[in-house]
Amino acid sequence: MASLNKVFLAGHLTRDPEIRYIASGKAVADLGLAVNRRYRTASGEDKEETCFINVTVWGKQAEMAGEYLKKGSGVLVEGALRMDQWESNGEKRSRLSVTADRIQFLDKPSAGAKKRSQEGERKQESEDEMESAPSSESSAEQIEDDPDNLPF
């Protein structure tokens, strides 16, 4: 019999992403995700319950999460369930968590994130312009060396 371990979760972050780098230099982000479920009981009463889930994101997506997400940001997570097990004070403990294959930001970028992104783009453009622009000395030398290149 085939098995499938795939989850899709949409919710909001309960805290800012925690970014760290492993020895190989790969980024890892730990996210806290709150997912709400609304339902109506048999008696007609509306209820809501919240499930809190730990999510681990790897690589470039982890770096992007650290740069653009913050507490309260909406995200869609696609990934797999993972069972974390450990021992604390002689007692065996376990919990389910999610290892994300893909995350999608559901909110528009915040003003701060957008500003940081635009500043990075402007800096890169000015660096590119400086590299591609010929220096004034080399331009002057080219004009003087070429008798056919007259300024009129």
User: Domains in the chain, start-ordered, CATH in brackets?
Assistant: 7-107 (2.40.50.140)
Mean pLDDT, residues 141-151 taken together? 55
pLDDT band at 107 (very low <50, low <70, confident <90, very high): confident
Mean pLDDT, residues 36-51 taken together? 94
Whether the pTM exceeds 0.75: the reply is: no
- Asked whether the beta carbons of 103 and 77 are under 8 A apart, the reply is yes
- Asked whether the beta carbons of 33 and 11 are under 8 A apart, the reply is yes
71 vs 141 pLDDT, higher one: 71
Q: In the predicted model, is pLDDT for residue 130 greater than 60?
A: no
Burial profile 113-151: b = 16 or more Cβ within 10 angstroms, e = fewer: beeeeeeeeeeeeeeeeeeeeeeeeeeeeeeeeeeeeee
Q: In the predicted model, is pLDDT for residue 117 greater than 60?
A: no
Q: In the predicted model, is pLDDT for residue 142 greater than 70?
A: no
148 vs 44 pLDDT, higher one: 44
Mean pLDDT for all residues in the chain: 83
